[in-house]
Chains A and B, each alone.
Chain A
Amino acid sequence: MKMRKSMSLLLSGSLALTMLAACGKSSSGSSSEGSNGSKVIKIATQTPLSGGSATLGEAIKLGAQMQLDEQKDKFKKLGYELKLQPYDDQGDPKKGVANAQLIGADKQIYGVVGHLNSGVAIPSSEIYEKYKIPMVSPANTATEVTDRNLQSVNRICGRDDYQGPAGAEYATGKLGAKKIFVIQDKTAYGTGLADAFKKSAEEKGAKIVGYEGITVGEKDFNGVINQVLSKKPDLVFFGGLYSEGGLIIKQAREKGIDVPFMGGDGLDSSTLVEIAGKSVKNVFITSVAGDTEGTETGKKFAGNYKKKFNKNIESYSVYGYDSMGVVLKGLEDAIKENGKKQPTREQVMKAVRNLKDFQGAVTKVSFDSKGDNDFAKFFVYKFDDAKYPPVFDAEIPKK
């Protein structure tokens, strides 16, 4: 009877807690006790769980959840109970910021794993900075994410502005390209990528035999392709997105240009294969997302993931897993430093930033002063056949 009474008390207590948390007014909950007397620490994820990119957002969340579940026992010994608090940012900056306010107000949350979209991460992280909550991003590649020098913002993936140089290294190295023709689509992304590639390829001794722009939305690129034809390069680099890239590849192959094509992650889409068809053979793309099953630990992760969630991994699943690993390592360090007492958010934030040589399932992480990962890698994929996804070909470390 007594047992039942305490049980009901506990249940109603936790109900009240969740309600408070849901209202974002749990200011009094910071030192509240969990179900077995230990203190509750929550880690939030903020990714799109609905809408067009929900598959990737869900993958990051599940990856993070797996890491958290694996480390629950370790933190229990330290006297804390870990909980995952997923938020849906809907890929929308406004929603991301609103969620960030909720996260900031919930004193039990000590870290955030997210986001998927750089456009959402940038405004949301301003709020995290205000509340001194460390954010570890699995997927945001825009340079501005870390270039604002925020103390709370970290990422384990690479930066956009290194994608061009990584491509150049592969093109001049493994592919041995000496004469390169560069095409770009006059957008911020395309021109930035193409310029970075061009600069770096020239430094590595390749000759740029042509540098031309195209107009987004057009379908006939024969003018530029005729130039490629007359310059006879041994590699064509395209800075732009799959819709124009696919057509350029197709129209070039129709004119008998068989040399390799290369592009950035803007070409990484199944639509590229649909547009270009068989012409997509011998096309290379660089990407910040690695091949999870290329390493032993990655393979093990994929197996466990499948067992736990009955779903196949997505490219970003393991990055969610490793980001959560980074957050929890930082949390653990902060707790130990604080003599096993509950640390402040600021202490956790500093511990995350000071992390060195963290070994995740596929990534190795050491943050520099801006929060970029010193060991971020770039990956080159190759299309061998008219099918998506392309085959993993090489990885290029950041210098």
Chain B
Amino acid sequence: MLNNILESIPQVAIDGLTLGTVYAVIALGYTMVYGILELINFAHGEIFMTGAFIGTAMLLLLTGFGWVSALPAIVLLITVLLLTALLTGLLGMGIERVAYRPLRNAPKLIPLITAIGISFLLQDLVRFIAELKKGNYIVTGPSLFTHQIKIHTSSISSIFNDASIKTSFIIVLVSAVIMMVVLDFFVNKTRWGMAMRAVAQDRDTASLMSVNVNKVISLTFFIGSALGGATGVLFAVQYGTIDPYIGFILGLKAFTAAVLGGIGNIRGAMLGGLLLGVMEMFASANLSLLTGGVFGAEYKDVFAFIVLIAVLIFKPEGLLGKPVAEKV
């Protein structure tokens, strides 16, 4: 049994990391907004989904023009990524302006409800447009980066089986790592990052220190949404097929990842996302082996959430979160 598990470990690790990086980057959006506004922005999963659709639409359009063959695919992808990030970033700012800013001083529950409202709105809007254009809301983009690379993990040690990775996995991983590193640098080392951290600590005092709170919050939404939208494009490239409802489950998982890592903490969100992805993949590949067939792969989410509960019992602030001192 142990042998079977070990054999598949390299492949499981690769697939888990792919899913985990997607969770991690989406979790960043949740955690940034929560850190600043203490608002759970449930529309974030839908921004991710919108990004996936915008990106796929652009790729389909450009493929239609025949530009894909003229340009190296990677240049094309970077262009699409940047454009989508810009658009979804603006979308996120717009949502904040319309749905959250007027309610900033309302009870916490109210913006939560508008967030859910926005997410339904986005789902159905995208579905409507997709159905109008394609006659079907399940959209399949052009296949890029489908080349398979074999890694001979069996040569490291004979207990491992060979693993294979898609080229797109490397692209997802590299782009996600770049995004996370740049964000980390931005928040910790720049003036605007300092302003963001100041607003997160105390909005009123920050405004007294001549920090433009509204601008900082808009910026936060822009960055979070841009990252989410770009991840959507990466997701569409990796998995090929998207529909307007992908944001829901992925958003939920990413939110969980943010809580696991410590909500409000950017590095925690990254760690939580990667952990959740790997755990989930491990569970779905090995649960029936471990339990002798009693629990199948369909219990992978149960497994992942049991781990989450266990972590929160012993460390309620999440893995990297700091205990909040009660402000008196």
Q: Interface on A for B, CB 8 Å cutoff?
A: 186, 210-215, 217-220, 222-224, 226-227, 229-230, 243, 246-247, 250, 254-256, 271, 274-275, 277
Contacts and interface: CB of A to CB of B under 8 A. Distances in A.
12 contacts: A212-B288, A212-B297, A215-B298, A219-B246, A220-B19, A222-B281, A223-B283, A226-B285, A250-B240, A254-B146, A254-B148, A256-B148
Of A218, A246, A247, most buried by chain B (CB within 10 Å of CB) is A218
B4 A223 contact: no
B146 A217 contact: no
A229 B11 contact: yes
Given A254-B146, A275-B138, A224 B243 contact: no
Nearest to A255: B164
Contacts of A218: 249
B325 to A, nearest CB: 39
The 9 closest A-B pairs by CB, nearest first: A223-B284, A213-B298, A222-B15, A212-B297, A226-B285, A219-B239, A223-B285, A275-B241, A212-B296
Which label, helix, strand, loop or mixed, suits the secondary structure of the A interface?
A: helix
B166 A215 contact: no
Contact of A223 (B143, B241, B246, B281): B281
B175 interface: no
B240 to A, nearest CB: 6
A186 B298 contact: yes
Nearest to B161: A230
Contacts of B4: 230
Contacts of B46: none
A277 B138 contact: no
Nearest to A224: B297
Contacts of A229: 8, 11
A278 to B, nearest CB: 9
A43 B246 CA distance: 46
Interface of B: 4, 7-8, 11-12, 15, 18-19, 136, 138, 140, 143, 146, 148, 161, 164, 166, 235, 239-243, 245-246, 248-249, 280-285, 288, 293, 296-298, 300-301
Contact of B285 (A217, A227, A254): A227
Given A214-B297, A223-B12, A254-B166, A277 B19 contact: no
Choose among A215, A230, A250 the residue with the greatest number of B CB atoms under 10 Å from its CB. Answer: A230
Contact of B8 (A211, A230, A250): A230
Contact of B246 (A217, A222, A255, A277): A217
A220 B15 contact: yes
A220 B298 contact: no
Contacts of A230: 4, 7-8, 161
A46 to B, nearest CB: 26
A186 B143 CA distance: 29
Contacts of B281: 222-223, 226
A223 B12 CA distance: 7
B298 A212 contact: yes
B249 A215 contact: yes
Contacts of B248: 217
Nearest to A274: B140
Contact of B241 (A212, A224, A246): A246
A218 B240 CA distance: 13
Nearest to A210: B288
Given A222-B281, A243-B138, A254-B146, A227 B239 contact: no
Nearest to B134: A274
Contacts of B240: 247, 250, 275, 277
A275 B56 CA distance: 14
